[in-house]
Structure 1
């Protein structure tokens, strides 16, 4: 599961739908893998406005990526800073969670990730 995907997921438990603590899901005991992909600046420029930057900063710091600024870069800043563009590309598009769990901060439910695929099926008592 790419870290970009994690930025769009929240807890599926019905009781968490109204809670802001259900987003973002927090990685726990994750095994990361990096798959090299050709850089695509246009894709990054199109993705940035759709990303919840605060959630990305939280997730990245929990996984050990500390190079993100507290505020999202503008397209002009990104064009002028090759290192920032490379770091964002690596974080969002090349880094994958292969094994581990994603945990809801509201209810504590853990979604297992196995072979890069998160299992979002809920047991009957949580639906």
Structure 2
């Protein structure tokens, strides 16, 4: 599961639907793997307009990545800053969670991640 995917996931527990604490899910005890990919600045620029920057900075910090700026870079800033482009590319496109857990900040439910796939099936009492 790519780190980018975490920016689009929220807790599936019914009681968490109305809570802002259910997003983003927090990585716990994660084993990260990296795939070497060619940098595609146009793709990255388009993706950045769709991500929740605050959630991304939280996830990056929890995974031990360098601190991201408080606001997302503009396309012009990204084009002029090769280091930032590469760091965001590494975080969003190359880094994957292979094993671990994703934890809801509201209810504490843990979703297991095995072989890069998160299990979002809930027990009957949480549906």
The two structures share one fold, judged by TM-score above 0.5: yes
Does residue 13 of structure 1 match 2:10?
A: no
Q: Output the TM-score relative to the length of structure 1.
A: 0.99
The alpha-carbon deviation at position 67 of structure 1 amounts to 3.5
Does residue 24 of structure 1 match 2:36?
A: no
- Matched with 1:90 is 90
How many angstroms apart in 2 are the aligned matches of 1:27 and 1:67? 16
SS of the counterpart of 1:5? helix
How many angstroms apart in 2 are the aligned matches of 1:60 and 1:22? 17
How many angstroms apart in 1 are the aligned matches of 2:59 and 2:102? 10
Deviations 1:61-89 (A, max 9, x none): 00001241111000000000000000000
How many angstroms apart in 2 are the aligned matches of 1:28 and 1:36? 24
Deviates more, 1:63-72 or 1:8-17: 63-72
Q: Output the TM-score relative to the length of structure 2.
A: 0.99
Equivalent residues, number: 127
Instruction: Could you list the structure 1 runs, at least 4 aligned residues long, displaced by more than 4 angstroms after superposition.
Output: none
Gaps of 5+ in 2: none
- Matched with 1:119 is 119
How many angstroms apart in 2 are the aligned matches of 1:35 and 1:67? 21
How many angstroms apart in 1 are the aligned matches of 2:70 and 2:31? 25
